[in-house]
Amino acid sequence: MTLRIIELCTDRLPCLLQKGGAVETYVYGISRAMERLGAEVHLVSIEKQKYVDYGNIHVHTINLTAPIVAKLRNLLIIIARVSY
């Protein structure tokens, strides 16, 4: 049985160092490490960076301009897909 992990991040992964990026860099690094160990990793973030190699990590984006109800609904749909 494969370990399945979902992580939530409030910014792009990894975040540029000029913006701080400590949490985002950690989430990206730990996600890559878990993926290399064979886990199925899903990241939920506001944007998927085009220049970043995510490997086999599944990146899900959420549009933060949508009303809060739509955001929560999207998150629950993502979680439902991961926990089938």
Higher pLDDT, 43 or 64: 43
Per-position DSSP letters for the chain, written without gaps between them: ---EEEEE-SS-BSPPGGG--HHHHHHHHHHHHHHHTT-EEEEEES-B-TT---TT-EEEE--TTS-HHHHHHHHHHHHHHHT-
pLDDT at 5 > cutoff 80: yes
Q: Which amino acid is at 72?
A: L
For the chain, how many structural domains are there in total? 1
pLDDT of residue 13: 57
pLDDT of residue 19: 56
**pTM of the predicted model over 0.75:** no
Domain hosting residue 75, numbered range: 4-82
